Amino acid sequence: MSAAPAASDPANYDKLGRRVWRVGTLSYTRTQLVGVFFWLLWGDFCLHLMDNGVIPTLVPLQLERMGASKALIGLVMGTIVNVMYFAIVPVVSTMSDRYRSRLGRRRPFLPFATFPLAVFLVLLGFSQQIARLAQGWMPGLLGDVPVLSIALVLAATFFLIVKFFDLFPQSVYYYMWADVVPPEVMGVFGALFRVFYAAGSLVFNYFLISLAKEHPEEIYMLSAGLYLVAFILIVLMVREGQYPPPEPVKQAAAESGRVAAFIELSKLYLRECFSRGFWWKFFLMSAAFQAGYQPLVGNLVFLGKEIFGDTPEGLAAYGKILAHRDIIWIFIYLALTPIMLKLHPLKAAIGGLLLMSGSSLVAFLFVRGPLSFEICTLATFISVALYLGGTQALNPRMLPREKFGQFASAGAMIFRITVALAAFGAGWMLDHVASNRYVFLWLSGFTALGLAMAVLVYRDWKKLGGEEGYVPPT
């Protein structure tokens, strides 16, 4: 019976002798914990059907068919987006850390973005049809402009609006984890998160990518609808606990008005997040991975088209390889679930970056046709899965919990500005080389840099207490 363990460890059991898990002022029975996992993971599935399937595959192909070069695609999808994130995410993140309401500090930011994101995602899918209508409405202004040129401007604009609203769930949604998921199951949740991440991508790559050339509008509409429903349900079904009052700004600044208070908060933000070398190494480790991985995700479809052809059948063949990748990812993430209960994510980062740098270098050297593309691509993405699954709980294990959003956004600032430069640089490179397989060499170089940073972070982490006694330096 459960009475005996309740007596020996009463803090972990309720009055009925049921096991409970706690985070902040929240406590969960097993059934309640499963419910929280379900709603967060369902939202993750729908988010990554859009972010890991629809956007990195449909949008580059859509822009290319409208006449965009790879450098322009990288500028729109990488550089501008990441500069926008760099400027706005720290503000939103710090605001959410300090915000207090009946709904909590994270959930109030989600409804604001959900509906307009879904609307503009649908408009993005209908960019060419809207361009024709605009030309008919304004013949004097647009009559001599090619429809595809108008559509390119509209598609780029709609895409950037989508990504503007996407920055709210892409930041605040992830900060909810540290607030609502108990620390002792964070590693399990992180691995399951990656399972659902891969499942969203799998659904797109196996069932939808073959329709991308002839029926993109329907795919955009489906993705937008699922996203809208998922995030409304998260707001309704996942509750936050009570938080202590935020640290007050200095009295003199508060009395001088909002501008002085904002300046004081900005100075405090920069001092706390960027005055220690440890955090620079930690942020650069993640930034190096993202600077290599994001251009790979954004440009791999062009290598697939180069090898399999720009036809529905070619896209289907490419999509089947990515679907095989997603299936392998699911098994890897499930296998990592019990392992991550014991393995620290910083150690997983070192192993994943080492494998990634080596496998992507091999891919660059040996990809020549369909078979070598499939083998090398799957090998590279296996190493990516080991890194992503192994490090999903890295931020919750390393960052100060009280200022989690603040430090997470500081890391995002570094990787966003890095990816902003890398996205355009990779696109420019691919416009000037003989084959798109150079994107693998790009990944290899940046993950080697990330590995060097990870080793330095690991050395400092050991000095700060390591596995048993680590305390974030603040």
List 13's β-bridge partners, or say none: 19
Q: Which residues of 73-100 are buried (b: 16+ CB within 10 A; e: fewer)?
A: bbbbbbbbbbebbbebbbebbbebbbbe
Listed in order, strand segments (DSSP E) in 35-167 are none
Query: What pLDDT, on the 0 to 100 scale, is given for residue 2?
Result: 35
Query: What pLDDT, on the 0 to 100 scale, is given for residue 372?
Result: 96
Helix (H, G, I), strand (E, B) or coil at 150: helix
Considering only the top CATH level, what class is 3-467? mainly alpha
Query: What pLDDT, on the 0 to 100 scale, is given for residue 5?
Result: 39
Query: What pLDDT, on the 0 to 100 scale, is given for residue 399?
Result: 92
Instruction: Identify the residue whose tokens are 């890391």.
Output: 411
Query: What pLDDT, on the 0 to 100 scale, is given for residue 11?
Result: 61
One digit per residue, the tens of pLDDT, for the chain of length 474 reads: 333 334 445 567 777 778 888 888 899 999 999 999 999 999 888 887 887 778 888 899 899 989 999 999 999 998 998 888 888 877 887 788 888 888 888 888 888 889 999 999 999 999 999 999 999 889 888 888 999 999 999 999 999 999 999 888 777 887 888 889 988 887 778 778 878 878 888 888 887 777 777 788 888 999 999 999 999 999 999 999 888 888 776 554 555 566 676 777 778 888 999 999 999 999 999 999 999 999 998 899 999 999 999 888 888 899 899 999 989 998 998 888 788 778 899 999 999 999 999 999 999 999 999 999 999 999 999 999 999 888 878 988 899 877 887 898 889 889 888 998 999 999 999 999 989 999 999 999 999 999 999 999 999 999 999 888 899 987
Which residues neighbour 319 within 8 Å (Cβ) at sequence distance 6 or greater? 205, 206, 209, 210
Helices 277-308/438-463 angle, 10° precision: 160
* Burial (CB count <10 Å: 0-12, 13-18, 19+), residue 133: exposed
Which residues neighbour 447 within 8 Å (Cβ) at sequence distance 6 or greater? 288, 289, 292, 293, 353, 356, 357, 360
Instruction: Identify the residue whose tokens are 């059934």.
Output: 31
| CA–CA separation, 57 and 204 (whole Å) | 10
Instruction: Identify the residue whose tokens are 């095989």.
Output: 324
| CA–CA separation, 420 and 287 (whole Å) | 11
- The structural domains of the chain, with segments of one domain joined by +, span 3-467
Is the pTM higher than 0.85? The answer reads: no
Query: What pLDDT, on the 0 to 100 scale, is given for residue 347?
Result: 94
Token pair, residue 197, equals 């991440």
